[in-house]
Structure 1
Amino acid sequence: MIDVRKLIWSSDRDFNQEEIHDKRYFLVAEHNDLITKARHDLNARELKIMDYVIARIKPDDDHFNLINTSMYELTKVLGLKRSGNAYSQLAGSLNAMRKKDVFIYNKQEKRLTMTGWFEVVDVWENGQVQLKINKQFAPFLLKLKDNGYYTQYLLADTVQLKSKYAILLYKLMREADKDHGQTISIVQGTPDEFKTWLGAPKSYTYGRLKDKILKPAIDEINLKINDLDLNLFQARRGRQVVQVEIHNNFLRRYPRTDQ
């Protein structure tokens, strides 16, 4: 068994021949169920890698193709320093993603999809990488305009967020923005629902959830994302918080031109 930590990276170049000035400005599009109903334990780096791979899907693709990339490209997109150590860590992340489970529940069909993220993960010592998304994700990532229930956002947004909780909350806010910033968008739920959506420890009290996860995630998003201005509200029954709302108060003053 090869220990990826001991691989010698003999090359440092971009194998992708596409003429793209900055791949960070790809759009990521995923079915709303993948944002609101999928349960998984990806960390921040793994979430960003998955967003990059999803961003490489073309709108008219009817199946998943092999994604050809490189350690050079991945470090550039993710804003990491290029080094043998960084490349080995990325290889470890890809290996972890290959083995991690994701569960997606379809309430209408009463069906639970259980799958892993990648069908193919190939890494060469020269830094070349090939990835292929598991075919079970086809209903959630392919031909999304046919059903209309999808969310789209810039890869540049998620790759600059450091916390996995900020990334997941960002996606929830984008999914809630049904009219593209013409009115205030709101994500609301019980404290337990927020713990589930964000993958927070189940043992957290609401106070711990707010102080350790919600408030830091909101602060990071407000600092780094130009068109999100989030505020947290809570409703109590007696002394117990029973409802949480996060509002995006940023409103567009002009019609969108990219629809």
Structure 2
Amino acid sequence: MADKRYFLWTNDRNFNKEDFEQQRFFQVAEHNDLITKARHDLNARELKIMDYVVSKIKPEDEHFNVIQTSMYELSNVLDLKRSGRTYSQLAQNLADMRKKDVYIYSEEEKRVTMTGWFEVVDLWENGQVQLKINERFAPFLLKLKDNGNYTQYFLDDTVQLKSKYSILLYKLIREADKDNGKSIAIVQGSPDDFKQWLGAPKSYAYGYLKRDVLTPAIKEINLKIKDMDLELFQAKRGRSVTQVEIHNNFIRNRQFN
């Protein structure tokens, strides 16, 4: 018998009146601690799903609203091929995100928040989806303009990137860009810092980190993100690399002689 998971769900249709192309240019805003101090194991698609959900938050929201969407909408906004198999994979992603832990360290409060991504996820046979972000994320996603310690970017940027390492490095570069591209943005840290930030295996020696994580991520970002021109630098003590810097050499409104 054919596996029903690989067919379009019953009465699959679009429930959203917004244009998908316009939605991809919604902005995602998140507290910098969520970028630099959160530890989690979301894969690339799950990172994009979270960015999509966060892009639905309005600056004036004081609490998380229930997000009404659909498999149809998710597939189109995330640039996925619509099929029963894709829908089943998205359903599994959402289920995994309900269970996966995230740890967020607050520098101001010297506190670690341990929570999951969603409070609830409801799925209908017709492809309709309803979900709500866990309320513990409120300090990191709501009323961000009150303290100004946040980073903003277009959903379309992360949707384009295929690797989770590319997505997480992209966010670090955006967070480091304090003057909106008027000078070179620099992300710097030890190899262990980069392994933590990008969710790379802890067992990786620097050679593997550079070959399998940093270099491919830099290459993909430079290829797909128009206002990023990343370059890697490293400092050694003896034979060991102790410091890594990634520069974004793209400067807005650069004057050429």
TM more than 0.5: yes
Within a 5 Å distance, the mapping from 1:229-244 to structure 2 comes to 229-244=229-244
Shift of 1:20: 6.4
User: Counterpart amino acid of 1:253?
Assistant: N
Distance 1:11 1:43 in 2: 29
Distance 1:248 1:198 in 2: 17
Corresponding residue SS for 1:105:
strand
Corresponding residue SS for 1:25:
coil
TM-score (norm: length of structure 1):
0.94
Distance 2:236 2:87 in 1: 48
Distance 1:160 1:131 in 2: 24
Structure 1 unaligned regions, length at least 5: 255-259
User: Counterpart amino acid of 2:206?
Assistant: Y
Aligned position for 2:160: 160
Q: Is the 8 A contact 1:5 1:89 kept in 2?
A: no
1:121 maps to 2:121: yes
User: Counterpart amino acid of 1:23?
Assistant: Q
Distance 1:22 1:141 in 2: 21
After superposition, the C-alpha distances for 1:156-204 in whole angstroms (9 at most, x for unaligned) are: 0000100000000000000000000000000000000000000000000
Aligned position for 1:199: 199
Shift of 1:16: 2.0
Q: Is the 8 A contact 1:7 1:88 kept in 2?
A: no
Comparing 100-109 with 79-88, which one deviates more in the overlay?
A: 100-109
Corresponding residue SS for 1:15:
coil
Identity %: 73
Aligned position for 1:131: 131
Distance 1:206 1:120 in 2: 39
Aligned position for 1:69: 69
Within a 5 Å distance, the mapping from 1:102-121 to structure 2 comes to 102-121=102-121
Within a 5 Å distance, the mapping from 1:43-122 to structure 2 comes to 43-122=43-122
Corresponding residue SS for 1:22:
helix
Corresponding residue SS for 2:138:
helix
Aligned position for 1:185: 185
Distance 1:209 1:13 in 2: 43
Distance 1:140 1:87 in 2: 29
Aligned position for 1:257: none
Aligned position for 2:169: 169
- C-alpha spacing 1:242/1:21, structure 2 compared with 1 (3 Å): closer
Aligned position for 1:142: 142
Distance 1:166 1:4 in 2: 34
Q: Is the 8 A contact 1:4 1:88 kept in 2?
A: no
- C-alpha spacing 1:120/1:7, structure 2 compared with 1 (3 Å): farther
Shift of 1:11: 2.1
After superposition, the C-alpha distances for 1:225-251 in whole angstroms (9 at most, x for unaligned) are: 000000000001111100000000000
Q: Is the 8 A contact 1:8 1:125 kept in 2?
A: no
Within a 5 Å distance, the mapping from 1:216-231 to structure 2 comes to 216-231=216-231
Shift of 1:105: 1.0
Distance 2:76 2:20 in 1: 13
Corresponding residue SS for 1:109:
coil
User: Counterpart amino acid of 1:196?
Assistant: Q
Distance 2:209 2:246 in 1: 14
Q: Is the 8 A contact 2:7 2:83 kept in 1?
A: no
